[in-house]
C-alpha cells in the first residue's frame, strides 16, 4: 500500500510539473503585452423590427438595450477604443436583398466621447431585417489593425434572416484569419434556434454566449465583456504548419494559432539547444458538430521521424476543446559542440465531421511552445528511459522476489505445523 501511495504521489507530482511547465512563461507574456496597442471593442446591436417587443422588465427590448448601452458607455475604461455598429436599423422595406445590406457604423471605433456616443444611441428605432452575417464581416473590418485585443459583442433577439450567408461560417472565417478577434454573443430571447446560432458564433472564435432576460443582466454582462477586453493578453501569432516535417515552419517560444483539417497532421519545427527543455502543449477546438469519438495527439519527433515523446488525449462527449502536452529535456553535450537539435512537433486529430457539416476551414488549433533551462538531472530523463529510476526498479524487483521467497517459506512452515498437530 505504501508503495502504491508513493507511486501515486509521484505521478501527481509529475502531472503538476507538466501543467506548470506548459503554461506560457510570465516573461514572454510581459514582453508581448508591453508594446500592445489599445484594446478595441465593437458593440453590434440588433435594431430589427422585433426589438419593439415589450417583454424585458415591462419595457421594450430596444429600451433595455439603450439603457444598457448608456450605462456601459459611462463605465468603459479610458484605455478601451470602443465603437457601435447596428444591423437592421435603417431599411424598413420588404426587399430582402436591400434588407441584408442594412448594417452601419453608428459610432466609429476609437477614443470614446461618451456624450456623442449616447446621442447616437438615442436616435435608434427598431426598423428592419436581421443581417447578422454581414454585420459581423463589417465589424471585423471596424477592428482591423493594431496588435491589441479585439472583441465584438453581438446583441440580438432573433436569428439571422440573410441565409445562405451563415453567420456561424462567417465567424469561422474570421477566426481562420488569425487576427486574434473574439466574438461574444448575447441573446435577448430564450429561443432554442437563436441560442444554437449565437452559441456557434461565439464558440468559433473562443468567445462566450449568454442568454439574458432582464435589463440589469444585459448591462452587467456587456460591462464585463468590455472590461475583459482591457485585460492584458498574449496575442497568438498566426502560423501555417506543413504536411511534412521537412517543410515545417521554425518556431521559437510563444503562442501560435493555426487551422487543422479533420483527421490530418500538422508539423512545426523547434530548435532545442543542449541543456534546454522543450515544453509544448496544443488545444484543438471542435467549433462545429463532430462525431462522438475523437482524440488529439502531440508528438516530438527527430527530423528522421523517430518518436521522442508524445502526449495524447481522447474524448467521447460534448467537449469543445481537447488539449494535451509534452516535455523534452535535451541533455548537455559531452563535447564542446553546442549545436541545437531540431525537433519536429506533430499535431494530429481524429475528429470527424457530423453529417452535413462543412470541413473547411479546418479546426482551430492553438500551440504553446517554450524552450527553457533544463532541470537538474535532465540528461538522465533525456535518455528516453527510466534513468536513475532503473536503480529503484531493480530494488523493487529484488525486494519483491525476497518477500515472495519469505512468504513461501512462512506458508510452508505454517502448513507443516498444522499437519503435525
Residue 85 sits in a domain of what CATH number?
3.40.50.410
Residues 144 and 193 in one domain: yes
For residues 206 and 267, membership in a common domain is answered with: no
- Give the cell for residue 403: 518477500
In a domain? residue 404 = no
225 and 252 in a single domain? The answer is no
Residue with cell 553535450: 333
Q: Of 230, 255, 274, at which residue does a domain stop?
A: 230
Which run of H or of E encompasses 80?
none
- Residue 227's pLDDT is 87
Helix ranges restricted to H, 53-113: 61-75, 96-99
- For residue range 57-106, list pLDDT tens digits in order: 999 999 999 999 999 999 999 999 999 999 999 999 989 889 999 999 99
Reduced to 3 states (helix: H, G, I; strand: E, B; else coil), residue 251 is strand
Q: Give first-to-last CA distance, the chain, whole Å.
A: 35
Q: How many domains does the chain have?
A: 2
pLDDT digits (tens, 9 = 90+) for 151-203: 999 999 999 998 888 999 999 888 887 777 899 999 998 888 898 899 889 88
Per DSSP, which regions of 219-362 are E strands? Answer: 237-238, 250-251, 254-260, 265-272, 276-285, 294-301, 307-315, 321-329, 341-349
Do the domain assignments include residue 396?
A: no
At residue 133, the pLDDT reads 94
Q: 181: closest CA among 143, 234, 131? A: 143
Distance separating alpha carbons of residues 39 and 309, to the nearest angstrom: 39
Cα separations in angstroms, 301 against 44, 89, 141, 245: 46, 55, 40, 9
255 located within any domain: yes
For residue 297, list its beta bridge partners. 312, 348
Encode burial over 183-209: b for 16+ CB neighbours within 10 A, e otherwise: bbbbbbbeeeebbebbbbbbbbbbbbb
Q: Return the SS3 of 358.
A: coil
What pLDDT, on a 0 to 100 scale, did the predictor assign at position 145? 87
In a domain, 359, yes or no: yes
| Confidence grade of residue 392 (pLDDT, cut at 50, 70, 90) | low
Domain that holds residue 176: 37-230
Give the domain-ending residue among 201, 230, 259.
230
**Pairwise CA distance, residues 89 & 130, whole Å:** 9
Is residue 173 classed exposed, middle or buried when 0-12, 13-18 and 19+ CB atoms within 10 A define those classes?
Answer: middle
Instruction: Examine the pLDDT at 117 and tell me if it is beyond 80.
Output: yes
pLDDT of residue 108: 96
Output the pLDDT for position 27.
42
Domain membership of residue 1 (yes or no) is no
Any domain includes 13: no
The residues facing 353 across adjacent strands are 290
- Residue 21 is predicted with a pLDDT of 38
Q: Is 185 contained in some domain?
A: yes
Residue 215 has pLDDT above 80, yes or no: yes
- Give pLDDT, residue 319: 53
Nearest to 327 by CA among 296, 295, 369: 369
Residue 260 CB coordination number (10 Å): 21
CATH number, domain containing residue 322:
2.60.120.380
Residue 312 lies in a domain: yes
C-alpha cell at 281: 502543449
Co-location of 185 and 89 in the same domain: yes
Amino acid at each position: 500500500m505504501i508503495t502504491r501511495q508513493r507511486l501515486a504521489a509521484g505521478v501527481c507530482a509529475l502531472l503538476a510539473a507538466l501543467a506548470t511547465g506548459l503554461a506560457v512563461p510570465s516573461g514572454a507574456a510581459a514582453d508581448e503585452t508591453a508594446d500592445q496597442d489599445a484594446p478595441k471593442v465593437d458593440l453590434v446591436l440588433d435594431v430589427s423590427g422585433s426589438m419593439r417587443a415589450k417583454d424585458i422588465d415591462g419595457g421594450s427590448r430596444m429600451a433595455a438595450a439603450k439603457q444598457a448601452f448608456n450605462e456601459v458607455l459611462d463605465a468603459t475604461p479610458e484605455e478601451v477604443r470602443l465603437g457601435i455598429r447596428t444591423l437592421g436599423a435603417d431599411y424598413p422595406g420588404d426587399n430582402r436583398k436591400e434588407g441584408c445590406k442594412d448594417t452601419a457604423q453608428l459610432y466609429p471605433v476609437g477614443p470614446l466621447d461618451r456624450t456623442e456616443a449616447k446621442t447616437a444611441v438615442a436616435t435608434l428605432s427598431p426598423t428592419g431585417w436581421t443581417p447578422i452575417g454581414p454585420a459581423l464581416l463589417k465589424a471585423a473590418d471596424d477592428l482591423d489593425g493594431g496588435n491589441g485585443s479585439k472583441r465584438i459583442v453581438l446583441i440580438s433577439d432573433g436569428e439571422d434572416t440573410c441565409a445562405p450567408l451563415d453567420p456561424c461560417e462567417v465567424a469561422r472565417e474570421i477566426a481562420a484569419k488569425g487576427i486574434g478577434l473574439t466574438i461574444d454573443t448575447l441573446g435577448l430571447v430564450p429561443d432554442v434556434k437563436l441560442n444554437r446560432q449565437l452559441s456557434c458564433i461565439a464558440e468559433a472564435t473562443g468567445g462566450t454566449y449568454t442568454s439574458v432576460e432582464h435589463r440589469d443582466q444585459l448591462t452587467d454582462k456587456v460591462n464585463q465583456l468590455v472590461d475583459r477586453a482591457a485585460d492584458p493578453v498574449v496575442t497568438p501569432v498566426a502560423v501555417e504548419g506543413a504536411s511534412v516535417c521537412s517543410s515545417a515552419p521554425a518556431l521559437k517560444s510563444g503562442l501560435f494559432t493555426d487551422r487543422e483539417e479533420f483527421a490530418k497532421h500538422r508539423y512545426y519545427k523547434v530548435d532545442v539547444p543542449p541543456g534546454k527543455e522543450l515544453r509544448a502543449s496544443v488545444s484543438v477546438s471542435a467549433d462545429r458538430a463532430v462525431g462522438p469519438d475523437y482524440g488529439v495527439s502531440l508528438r516530438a519527433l527527430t527530423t528522421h521521424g523517430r518518436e521522442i515523446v508524445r502526449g495524447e488525449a481522447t474524448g467521447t462527449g460534448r467537449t469543445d476543446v481537447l488539449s494535451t502536452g509534452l516535455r523534452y529535456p535535451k541533455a548537455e553535450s559531452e563535447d564542446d559542440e553546442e549545436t541545437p537539435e531540431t525537433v519536429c512537433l506533430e499535431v494530429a486529430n481524429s475528429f470527424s465531421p457530423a453529417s452535413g457539416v462543412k470541413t473547411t476551414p479546418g479546426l482551430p488549433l492553438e500551440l504553446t511552445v517554450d524552450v527553457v533551462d533544463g532541470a537538474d538531472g535532465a540528461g538522465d530523463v533525456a535518455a528516453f528511459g527510466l534513468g536513475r529510476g532503473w536503480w529503484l526498479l531493480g530494488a523493487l524487483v529484488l525486494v519483491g522476489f525476497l518477500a515472495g521467497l519469505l512468504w513461501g517459506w512462512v506458508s510452508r512452515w505454517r502448513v507443516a505445523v498444522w499437519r503435525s498437530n
